[in-house]
Each structure stands twice: as structure tokens, then as C-alpha cells.
Structure 1
């Protein structure tokens, strides 16, 4: 008589063990998920963060791809995208995590690998693309569109129907008025207020936000 095979529950790991990774791990633990540890290409294997082990880097993940879930614990947009693409190549869909104190409307749409942190608000018909971060206390009003791998820092606020481009980054407490757009890879400085559309790949600062320089990094 054949022996029945049991399926094991995939283990959850956090890719990235820096400060952002700690917060992502805390969200997972707060939601009652069991976190196996951290994966990080730069941190020494065998170390510990939040009393969880650093398991290894990309090679560790590749060897265990069939029994692992991954949450993205990297704050820098381009690096987070590279980890997302690695997961895709390994057949892993990054986990979307929402802190229990966040308010997410039932009609909002969240892509794979999105992290929504404590006290954040995402209102009706907002759309958040893959790999984006809605950080602590950020507000995404109705009908907003957040591009892939964008990052809204703590207490950033978007009025209704705002469009945030892919890889854009809004600093601490930055605000965007209703209906305005922030272009791909643009940076809005901390505390800045966007009154007019922001072009792609620029840095804007101030009240009102004005272009300070072009971005040169990739």
C-alpha cells in the first residue's frame, strides 16, 4: 500500500536584514506568520537579527526555491526590484504584507510583493503595483495609482487620483495635491508639497516643490 505524501508548508524568509527588513519581519510576526529567518547577500551567514538567523544569500534561496516564501525587506527601489526579479526567475511570487493596523479599502488593488506598514491608509479604488512600499502612516487617497517599486515614506500623503511613477520615492511627510503626477524615478524631498506635475528622474524639494536637479544614479 503506497505511503501518503504530506505537503510541507513553505517557509517564509525576509530578503534583506537591514532596518527596513526588520520592519517587514515585524509585520509578518505581528500577523502570526512563522518567519524562518533573513536572506541577505551582504550580511554574514550565521548572524542574527531580531533573534532570527541570517540564512545565507541568493544561492541559499535558489537551493530551496521549492519550499520558500519571500517577503521583500529592502527599502531601496532598484535593489528591491532586482530581488523581485530573482524571485520571479526562481518561480517564487513575493508575498504581499499588510500590517494589522493599516486600513486598506476592499476595492483597492495591491500587487505582489507590496508592503503596507503600520497605520497606513489606502482608500477605495487605489491601485498599488508590484513591489511598492506604503510606509508607516502614509495616506493613499481614492483612485491613486502607485507605480511598481515606488516608495512612499512615513507620513507621505497623496490626495485623490494622484499618479506616482515606477521607482519614484516620496520622502518623509511629503504631500501631493489631488490629481497631480510624480514621474518615474523622481524623488520628492521630505516635507515637500507637490502642486504641479513632477517630471521623471528629477529631485524636487520645498513648498511648493521645485526641481533641484536631475537624477544621475541608476
Structure 2
């Protein structure tokens, strides 16, 4: 029986647990096929599992994945998602895509590994999603939109048709990329901001139209991962 484990032990991890519960309840046969193993912290982070603390297993730092283990990236910060994913893939781990049953993904969309798709998201035709992204509720990816790896898209963020996002970006609530806009890597987009044409790497963007207000130094992603301009 495959065993599901969540790497993370705070708010995002608890959200993932309840999405997993909704998934299991939407298709009762899954509960007889999968078992929930518990939560692992990353690098000793104290965390806050609240009423789920009895499911805490210990640290993930030296955890050796078993052949039946499936992992969920239960952290929100893009750089941590990338760090955990890379470390565990090197150990031979497999990550599941956790998709809420009230979300919709078109059959022609392409989705990688280790993504979280919270309730109410819509991924339209021929959109592309890489690995380890977190779509945190009511996110809209329009036709032919693409996002790279380890991005966090806050609730009600929108990526319109043909727009492209690189890796390790954080999009605030109600932020928008207009049609065919291009965003690089490691950027922070303030809530309610609108990207008309695009931005490069490691920028803090705010406003409508969004302008660079500062450098964003929280990322060290490679600039050669930036989508084509």
C-alpha cells in the first residue's frame, strides 16, 4: 500500500493535509489504496501542526524514502520547495501532484511532479505547469499559459493566455499577468499588481502597471532558466 508523507510541519502542511482528506473523501476507493504516513520537518524547523501534531514523524533531513513512499511538498516558500524537491529526488523519492477535487485541469494541459493545486483552481487548454508549484486556491491559468518550477501563486492570481513565468516566483493575491507577458525567476509580485509586458529576475514588482520597486534577493535561481523574451 503506497504511503503518503507531507514534508513540512506548519500552516502550508496542514492545508495540504486537508486537501488530501478532501481527495480521499471524493473517491472512497483511494482511502483503501493509500495510507497517510505523517509529517516530516525540514532542517529541524519547529513548525506548528496544532491538532495534527500526533502525525509528526520527525525530521526529513536523513529520511530514506521507501519504495512505496509518495511525498507532498507541504511548504510555501519557493526556495524551500526547490531545496526539498532536489534533495529528495536525489534520494530516489517520488512526489505526488495533490489536486483538489473542486479544481479543474484541461486534458490537454501538461503538469509535472510535486505540484499542489488547491480548491477552485482552473488550468485551461494547453497550459503547462512544471514541478513543485503551489497554486493556493482560485488560481486561473488560461490557454497556453506556462509556469516553470517551484512558484507560489496566491489565491485569485491569474496568468492569462500565452503568458509565461519562470521559476521560484511568488505571486501575491489578485495579481495578474496579461496575455503573452513574461516573468523571469525569483520575483515577488505584490497583491493586486498587473504585469503588462514582463520583468526579468529577482525583482519586487508592485502596481498597475507593475513597476520594479526594489531588488528581491531571496532567490539564487539561475538566469538561464528565464523564459524567452
Length-normalised TM-score, structure 2: 0.85
Q: What CA deviation, in whole Å up to 9, does each residue of 1:44-85 have, x standing for no partner?
A: 69x7643651101125632x5333211110100111111111
> Given that residues 138 and 154 in structure 1 are in contact (C-alpha distance below 8 angstroms), is that contact kept between their aligned partners in structure 2?
yes
Partner of 1:190: 191
User: 1:54: which partner in 2?
Assistant: 56
Q: Which residue of 2 aligns with 1:27?
A: 19
| Structure 2 spans left out of the alignment, 5+ residues | 25-30, 220-229
Q: Which residue of 2 aligns with 1:161?
A: 162
Matched residues, number: 208
Q: Deviations over 1:126-146 (max 9, x none)?
A: 000010111100100010110
Q: Give 3-state SS (helix, strand or coil) of 2:174's partner.
A: coil
CA RMSD of aligned residues (A): 1.8
Q: Deviations over 1:16-52 (max 9, x none)?
A: 021111111111111115322101133569x764365
Check the 8 A contact 2:118/2:138 in 1, yes or no. Answer: yes
| Mapped contact 2:180–2:197 kept (Cα < 8 A) | no
Instruction: Determine the structure 1 residue equivalent to 2:2.
Output: 10
Q: Secondary structure at the match of 2:39?
A: strand
Aligned to 1:3: none
Superposed counterparts of 1:129-148, under 5 Å: 129-148=130-149
SS at match of 1:92: coil
Matches of 1:169 and 1:48, distance apart in 2: 26
Q: Given that residues 25 and 35 in structure 1 are in contact (C-alpha distance below 8 angstroms), is that contact kept between their aligned partners in structure 2? A: no
CA distance in 2, matches of 1:75, 1:128: 17
Map Cα deviations across residues 143-201 of structure 1 (whole Å, 9 max, x no partner).
01101111111110111011011111111110111110111111111111111211211
For structure 1, the residue ranges without an aligned partner over 5 or more in a row are: 1-8
1:149 touches 1:166 (CA, 8 Å); kept in 2?
Answer: yes
With 105-114 and 65-74 compared, the bigger mean Cα shift is at 65-74
The equivalent residue for 2:107 is: 106
Structure (1 or 2) with the larger CA radius of gyration: 1
Secondary structure of the corresponding residue to residue 125 of structure 1: coil
| Structure-2 separation of matches of 1:209 and 1:48 | 38
Cα–Cα, structure 1 residues 76 and 44, in superposed 2: closer, same or farther, change >3 Å?
closer
Larger relative contact order, structure 1 or 2 (CA cutoff 8 Å, min sep 6): 2
Q: Residues 52 and 137 (structure 1 numbering): CA distance in 2 closer, same or farther, change over 3 Å?
A: farther
Task: Name the SS for the 1:31 alignment partner.
Answer: helix
Do 2:186 and 2:218's aligned partners in 1 also have CA atoms closer than 8 Å?
no
